[in-house]
Amino acid sequence: MVTNHVITCFMENQGKILLLRRSSQVGSYPRKWAGISGYLPEGRSALSQAYLEIKEEASLCSDDIVLIKEGQVLQVPDADAGIMWLVHPFRFYVKHPGRLVIDWEHVEYQWIDPEDIKKYDCVPQLYETWRRVADG
């Protein structure tokens, strides 16, 4: 099984978190709901990659967000794809949600109650990933 490190960022405002629906053009889990996410290149810190992905996928810069928590890495096996995802979770507060603009990687987004993650067709173990950063 191949191992890939990825980051997942949960963006929060007024008690709601941002859920984004992945486009059909992405390489993994097209049309599934997710947080802001991306591969973590070797030698790069997870936090710096998180800021980069947020800028690319949501057009939010460091002045628009505040880090709330960095969670423990979660192992997410995908036997069908032959991949062990090592997910580095983050939670950020969004100061200016009106500045959010999604890129080609997503087709829509919603601000939802965190417990409602379970109601969506999400990437594997998204709720468990959220739990890693839910407190604090």
pLDDT in tens, the chain (136 residues): 999 999 999 999 999 999 999 999 998 999 999 999 999 999 999 999 999 999 999 999 999 999 999 999 999 999 998 999 999 999 999 999 999 999 999 999 999 999 999 999 999 999 999 999 998 5
Between the CA of residue 99 and those of 61, 64, 73, 84, what are the distances in Å?
A: 9, 8, 29, 34
Q: 127: how many CB neighbours lie within 10 A of its CB?
A: 14
User: Domains of the chain, with CATH numbers?
Assistant: 2-131 (3.90.79.10)
pTM to 2 decimals? Answer: 0.95
